[in-house]
Amino acid sequence: MKFGVGQPFRRVEDLRFITGTGRYTDDHRHPGEAFAVVVRSRVAHGVLRSVDAEAARQMPGVLGVFTAADLEADGIGTLPIVVVLDHAEGGTMPVPPRTLLARGKVRYLGEPIAFVVAETLIEAVEAAEAVEIDIEDLPVAVEPAAALTDGAPLLYDEAPGNLALHFTLGDIAAADAALKASDRVVEIDLVNNRIVVNSLEARNAIGIFEPEAGDFTLISGTQGSHMIREWLFEPVFALPPERLRVITPDVGGGFGMKAVPYPEQALVLYAARKLGRPVRWQSSRSDAFLSDTQGRDNHSRARLGLDAEGRFTALKVETLASCGGALSAFGVYCPTLSGPPMAPGVYRIPKVATDVRIAFTNNAPIDAYRGAGRPEAAYLIERLVDKAARETGIAPDALRAINMIAPEEMPHTTDTGVTYDSGDFAAVMRTGLAAADWHGFANRREGNDGRLRGIGLAYYIERTGVPGNEGAVVEIGADGRIVLHVGTQSTGQGHETTYVQMLAERLDVPPESITVKTGDTRQPLPSAGGTVASRSMVHGGGALKLAAEAVIAEGRALAAQLLDVLPEAVEFDSGAFRATGTNRHVGLLEVAASAGGLTGVGDFTQEDGTFPNGAHICEVAVDLETGRIEVERYTVVDDFGRVLNPLLLGGQIHGGIAQGIGQAMLERTVYDPDNGQLLSGSFMDYGLPRADDLPFFDFATQNVPCTTNPLGIKGAGEAGAIGAPPAFVNAVVDALAHLGIAHLDMPLTPSRVWEAIEAAKQG
């Protein structure tokens, strides 16, 4: 079998992981390194009266204890806010400075207050406990609705009423008019629960300062070393980014949470310069629950209009969202620029409008989490369509088919301004329904164990690979070894395997001759982004293609000299250059050896997104006595344009579905509304799905090539997490519908389901 695109080859990088030779940040050790611990706020909202670190500074092994006053005295800046938008009424949203350490006030539990550095980790922990902090407690608001209420405790003076942003999309008056003229209007009120990301590898950072050159090195698990350097260094240190080298070694999961800069990454650099020693910080799992950016957390009310035949006429969505106690880099992006444009889903809806209010609240900052706004949009429309099917008496699959955008309508521009380039939604749905035996479910509904069974359908679409640049460099050495430099960052997806497949196929070289290098800002790249928005194969693959073509072009010119013909008379095929019309040829690696090496550079620009889509069908059984839900069958058929490696793709979809079901069934971050304390701050109180909670996933693709990139692919990394929540919840509601239960908010924990069943029994 040829090692090329489309083949299900196993991951080449797994050998080092399963043999324990992977190199994560924590595996990097440096002579003389010191250890850091963050002192965090133990209250969610209060006036920071004083921070007394003198006793801590005198403890054994302590090298330094730094506070906001120290940072301010040394001219240290604040973390950047990458997405800043205007209010719907005009005027720019407030952007309170995000200081590395709290200054004057604390606004969420776990906010950094002091940074303790010592010879050993134990000494740093003991000194951190000796830092005396005086905070005057203030009332809290942990939910967006509470924070936006008149008289709510104010988090920032520059944000009256705690309003971070008021955002609208579409013509609200037109949507209202279309709803009024509709034959039927279906309404839903739902919560998209706040969740903790919980990557296997917790956050980390090592800071190194080179006093002779005045340069810094940051080693940290990120989703892109180049973007972290650009966003972190100049705003904080007022120095050019070239003075900072960022190295990202192997990374154990990111999911959006590691795509943004954090205070600790800047603090280790600051402390390294102050102390003249490498400084290491490693998050604990408790730290992660308190200080990692969290996901979702919004409450939406939506109305869907239908005509007498069941065709959709209008959609209006009103959302209250949280950005937490501080703006993160992309804190307002998910509920505004990402989710609302995808509100119509795969359906023809002539009028669509969204009104979003984002509130500052006394809990951890919100930012991107796998899907980053698109899961919220898909969950809303797919729950709403299912509710409409039940109220109209039209079968869920039939109502969707009536309203789906047809292939002949492509490219199709929605009322939200998004243009879908390709897709055959109805055909993919039919294939999924057939694979799931949708129409045979009636024979399985009863069962013989007393449990209630239900089946749920959801059809998602998302926008991935947002416009931007990505670079790649192919270097072929005189010894035949090939190095591919890329700016994207694998956090477990298997990029090395897929990139090797793509390059080996194009150059027709042995895959074992190729080494992929990433995660170092000293790489010779013309541009570099990172791994966000399922962009790596679209952007990185596009750059790889250009770099491969460039190295072939350089080789062709040299081969022409060796073959004594003009370059235009040289063809490249099967790893060799041939003089057209003759049997004379010279291999690519031979040309590289004769020239002392070849180099090809690619700088790819993606002008528009890609639109993966698919049908998820979930079957569940609900225990009436306990409320426990078992997922019995799960089927998904996706359109990813073109499949590069079906084995790796399946892994991405399986992981995404597991995370989506985790949110829908178990996960919920709970803060006490009276004091802002985190009530779900460990795995004792925060549920995650286990392997035995999930069935085998029946996964297939039915692809329509994408037209917005030369490879024809559509991003796949987040798809499973988008389609799974509505499919799961639709299935549970279907199981309970005859009891009169029309909606349940996530997570559908056994206690919540049992309570709903008992309430329904009592009328």
Is the dihedral angle over the CA atoms 448, 452, 455, 461 positive or is it negative? negative
Q: Is 12 domain-assigned?
A: no
Place of tokens 């908010």: 745
Domains of the chain: total: 3
731 and 593 in a single domain? The answer is no
Q: Are residues 683 and 699 in the same domain?
A: yes
User: Among all chains, which residue has been given the structure tokens 């899961």?
Assistant: 375
Provide CB contacts within 8 A for 256, sequence distance 6+: 197, 223, 293, 295, 367, 368, 369, 370, 372, 532
The torsion angles phi and psi of 758, rounded to 5 degrees, stand at: -65, -40
List of E strands, 640-755: 697-701
- Domain check: are 699 and 580 in the same one? no
Backbone torsions φ then ψ of 712, nearest 5 degrees? 75, 15
Quote the pLDDT of residue 2: 65
Rounded distance between C-alpha atoms, residue 9 and residue 276, angstroms? 47
Report yes or no: 275 and 124 within 8 Å, Cβ to Cβ: no
Radius of gyration in angstroms for the set of CA atoms belonging to the chain, rounded to a whole number: 27
| 629 and 502 assigned to the same domain | no
Verify that 282 and 424 share a domain, yes or no. no
- In whole numbers, what is the pLDDT of the chain averaged over residues? 97
CA distances, 366 to each of 153, 373, 382 (Å) = 19, 11, 24
Residue 315 one-letter amino acid = L
Per-residue tokens: 699:
């996964």
Q: Which of 719, 489, 715, 729 lies closest to 622, judged by CA?
A: 729
Res 448: pLDDT: 83
In CATH, what number is assigned to the domain containing residue 68? 3.90.1170.50
Question: Is residue 38 situated within a structural domain?
Answer: yes
| Residues sharing a CB contact under 8 Å with residue 690, sequence separation 6 or more, in sequence order | none
Last residue of a domain, one of 587, 606, 625: 606
Task: Judge if 483 and 495 occupy the same domain.
Answer: yes
- Peptide bond before residue 375 is cis, with ω within 30 degrees of 0: no
DSSP 739: G
Position 588 in a domain: yes
Determine, yes or no, domain membership for 324: yes
Among candidate residues 270, 291, 312, the one where a domain is terminated: 291
Q: What span, in angstroms and rounded, lies between the C-alpha atoms of 588 and 510?
A: 12
Boundary of a domain, candidates 260, 291, 322:
291
Kindly compute the dihedral angle of the four CA atoms of residues 390, 393, 397, 402, in this order, to the nearest 10 degrees.
Answer: -120
pLDDT, residue 379, reads: 99
Domain check: are 461 and 479 in the same one? no
CATH number of the domain encompassing residue 594: 3.30.365.10
Sign of CA dihedral 216, 217, 223, 227: positive
Q: What is the pLDDT of residue 608?
A: 93
Give a yes or no: residue 221 inside a domain.
yes
Distance of CA 323 to the CA centre of its chain: 16
Classify residue 359: in a domain, yes or no: yes
Query: Is 599:591 a contact under the CB 8 Å cutoff?
Result: no
Q: Are residues 319 and 370 in the same domain?
A: yes
**According to the model, what pLDDT value does residue 594 have?**
96
Tokens 């900072």 sit on residue: 244
Torsion angle (degrees, nearest 10) of CA 222, 226, 230, 233: 60
CA distance 687 to 703: 35
Q: Do 682 and 593 fall into the same domain?
A: no
The reported pTM is 0.96
Strand partners, 189: 301
Per the structure, the complete domain to which residue 635 belongs is given by: 298-465+609-761
Mean pLDDT, consecutive 10-residue segments, the chain of 763 residues? Answer: 80 93 96 98 99 98 98 98 97 98 98 99 99 98 98 98 99 99 98 98 98 97 96 95 97 97 99 98 98 98 98 99 98 98 99 99 98 98 98 98 98 98 99 98 91 98 93 98 97 96 96 97 96 95 98 97 95 96 95 97 96 99 97 99 97 98 98 98 96 95 97 97 99 97 97 97 85
Tell me, yes or no, whether 243 and 97 share the same domain.
yes
Is the distance from CB of 527 to CB of 469 less than 8 angstroms? yes
Residue 482 φ then ψ, to 5°: -120, 130
Q: Is residue 683 part of a domain?
A: yes
pLDDT, residue 447, reads 82
CA 705, 706, 710, 713 torsion-angle sign: negative
**Could you tell me if 248 and 359 lie in one domain?**
no
Q: What is the pLDDT of residue 4?
A: 80
Cα gap 68→104, rounded to integer Å? 9
326 with 460, same domain?
yes
161 close to 375: Cβ distance less than 8 angstroms: no
Is 171 contained in some domain? Answer: no
